[in-house]
Structure 1
């Protein structure tokens, strides 16, 4: 495809593996629904074809699996590289997830995601970077970059119930808990030819951030639910402070 010849080129990049991505989703849904009451709202909003960036808030460890399993389209999600060890890492790779080194410019991860988008498929990203309150108080610029580079549609996703108030970041909801997955209104981002400037990415990031915060509020009204609040003291994972848009009243606390 000619789009793979655009900069950064992806014609020699291997597409993430897919053979476990689609066949396992129905089975995984059945398994999760035996433990939790999972309700997906607004699935019909997702475009049936074309490049899509699912951008979600992040409160609990189960958010990633929920996005991969319940998103209306199969998702290649950016996943921190620390998860790719042992049998879990092997499974994630074969299920099409993309390892990301968050503490340096990960060219391989960027090009893998662009390969996916340029083939009209979907990626998943958590713009907050790390688990926290889920209030979108910080916003990495990756979603904007991918959308600009591929001319993709960004679809906000809001999770409710994936972590109990006061519970640690690695905890799971209690058995039988209601988990709401709310798909927000998509927003199309026109492709921006190379070279894309920092200012263009910044402006698009702020626009997407405002849209996602508005959709998060709409999801609250729809479900009648709220987020679990901040993590317990000392439980906030280290996360790079670079490439982040933040509210003035939300200083970075990414230092170890």
Structure 2
């Protein structure tokens, strides 16, 4: 049932948002066709999750802040579009377990490593969660850059970079913070190249 609703919702959102923001997707061919994938994107607006959702060639499971799961309408829709809650500002073990399970099952997990929207539009510091998932699974890590502004009929770019090979980093047993920094550097490079 969720799969059908996800596809339906994705198509509706695409019909509305694609022309409104003249969404241009670059690098979709870089996206792995199968296996666990961790998408890590910069976060500039509340519309980032649906924008990534409609441009990604595969269905995404998004980790989203717990507060929005208590809002009318959203509390019913979010679980049906593969979103699951995470408590901010603390280590949410249940959310971490859910994320690990999804990646190990060969699904796509979407994260905004900054944890919150950037008010300046500049890329902020990434939280250790992204590095945790990258190091604890065999998932492919795909950096993603969203380049605004979100203004009606002004072009909006979504760029998918080449998957980052984490084999060497996992073998070296680097820290989650170090792993997140590697991911953030890749997102930063995409942002620079795409502007």
> Do they superpose with TM above 0.5?
yes
Aligned equivalent of 2:84, options 85, 98, 106:
98
Q: Measure, in 1, the Cα distance between the counterparts of 2:18 and 2:123.
A: 27
Partner of residue 68, structure 2: 83
For residues 69-218 of structure 1, the aligned pairs below 5 Å read 69-85=54-70, 86-132=72-118, 133-163=120-150, 173=151, 175-190=152-167, 192=170, 200-218=175-193
- TM-aligned CA deviation for residue 182 of structure 1: 1.1
RMSD in angstroms over aligned alpha carbons?
2.2
Render the CA deviation track for 1:63-111: whole Å, top value 9, x for unaligned.
1211122222211111111111221121011111111111221111111
For residues 6-85 of structure 1, the aligned pairs below 5 Å read 18-85=3-70
Aligned residues: 191
Contact 2:127–2:177 under 8 Å retained in 1: no
Q: TM-score, normalised on structure 1?
A: 0.68
Q: Measure, in 1, the Cα distance between the counterparts of 2:36 and 2:94.
A: 19
Render the CA deviation track for 1:164-219: whole Å, top value 9, x for unaligned.
xxxxxxxxx3x3232111112220223959xxx7x522322222222222222122
Contact 1:20–1:96 under 8 Å retained in 2: no
Moved over 4 A (4+): none
Partner of residue 5, structure 1: none
Contact 2:147–2:191 under 8 Å retained in 1: no
Which of structures 1 and 2 has the larger relative contact order (alpha carbons within 8 angstroms, sep 6+)?
Answer: 2
1:184/1:105 CA distance change after superposition, 3 Å: same
Q: Measure, in 1, the Cα distance between the counterparts of 2:6 and 2:166.
A: 26
- TM-aligned CA deviation for residue 19 of structure 1: 4.6
> What stretches of structure 2 of length at least 5 have no aligned partner?
none
Q: TM-score, normalised on structure 2?
A: 0.88
> Which structure has the greater CA radius of gyration?
1
